[in-house]
C-alpha cells in the first residue's frame, strides 16, 4: 500500500512540474527561464542591449546615485508604496530622471492614482521614455525606462484617466522634481 502512495506522489510531482514548465512555455519570455537554461523553449532570450546616449559603468552609477535610487534605476527595483515625497508633490514643474537629469514628465500631466506612487497620464514628450515588456510577476507588464540613460522608472497601465487612459506609475526615487520658475507654467519650462 505504501509503495502505491509513493508512486502516486512521484507521479503527481512529475505531472505538476510538467504543467508548470508547459505553462511557462505558453506564457513565454519569463525572466527566470533564461536562468534555468530554458532557451531551448524560446524563453528568456537575451535582447540585444539597447544603446543609450548616457552610458556609465556600474561603479559610476553606484557613485552617482543613492543606494535606493541605484536599486530602482539600475537593478529594476520598486520603492515601497507611499515612500516617496514626490507622490504628494503637486507644484508646477518638471520631473527629471534622477540618474541623468533628462526631462520625463510635466506636473500638468500628474494625477493622484491613490496607489502611493507618482502617476502621470503621459510623458513630457514622445522621446522622453522607452518601454519594454517584463515578466517579473509571471504576467506581461509594460516597463518604462528613461530614453536617455535606460534607468528603470516604473510601469505603464491602461487604467488611467482621460485624455490618454494611461497611468504611468513611477518610482519617485527614480526622479527629481524641478519647480517651474515663478511666473511660468510647467509646459513653458519643458
CB 76 within 8 A of CB 152: yes
Say which residues have a Cβ less than 8 Å from residue 6's Cβ, sequence separation at least 6: none
Give the C-alpha separation, 70 to 141, whole Å.
21
Q: In the 8-state DSSP scheme, what is residue 21?
A: H
169 is catalytic: yes
Closest to 79 (Cα-Cα) out of 60, 94, 65: 65
What secondary structure does DSSP assign to 66-116, as a single string? Answer: -HHHHHHHHH---PPTT--GGGG--SSEEEEETTT--EEEEGGGEE--SSS
CB 170 within 8 A of CB 105: yes
Give the C-alpha separation, 173 to 82, whole Å.
11
Active-site position among 97, 100, 146, 169: 169
Q: Just list the catalytic residues.
A: 169
Amino acid at each position: 500500500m505504501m509503495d502505491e502512495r509513493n508512486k502516486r506522489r512521484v507521479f503527481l510531482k512529475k505531472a505538476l512540474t510538467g504543467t508548470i514548465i508547459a505553462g511557462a512555455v505558453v506564457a513565454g519570455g519569463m525572466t527566470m527561464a533564461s536562468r534555468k537554461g530554458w532557451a531551448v523553449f524560446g524563453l528568456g532570450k537575451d535582447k540585444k542591449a539597447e544603446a543609450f546616449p548616457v552610458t556609465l559603468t556600474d561603479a559610476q552609477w553606484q557613485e552617482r546615485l543613492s543606494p535606493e535610487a541605484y536599486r530602482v534605476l539600475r537593478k529594476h527595483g520598486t520603492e515601497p508604496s507611499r515612500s516617496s515625497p514626490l507622490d504628494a508633490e503637486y507644484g508646477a514643474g518638471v520631473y527629471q530622471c534622477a540618474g541623468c537629469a533628462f526631462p520625463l514628465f510635466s506636473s500638468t500631466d500628474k494625477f493622484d492614482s491613490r496607489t502611493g506612487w507618482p502617476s502621470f497620464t503621459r510623458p513630457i514628450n514622445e522621446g522622453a521614455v522607452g518601454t519594454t515588456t517584463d515578466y517579473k510577476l509571471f504576467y506581461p507588464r509594460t516597463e518604462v525606462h528613461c530614453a536617455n540613460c535606460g534607468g528603470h522608472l516604473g510601469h505603464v497601465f491602461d487604467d488611467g484617466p482621460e485624455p490618454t487612459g494611461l497611468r504611468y506609475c513611477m518610482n519617485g526615487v527614480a526622479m527629481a522634481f524641478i519647480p517651474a520658475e515663478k511666473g511660468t507654467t510647467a509646459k513653458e519650462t519643458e
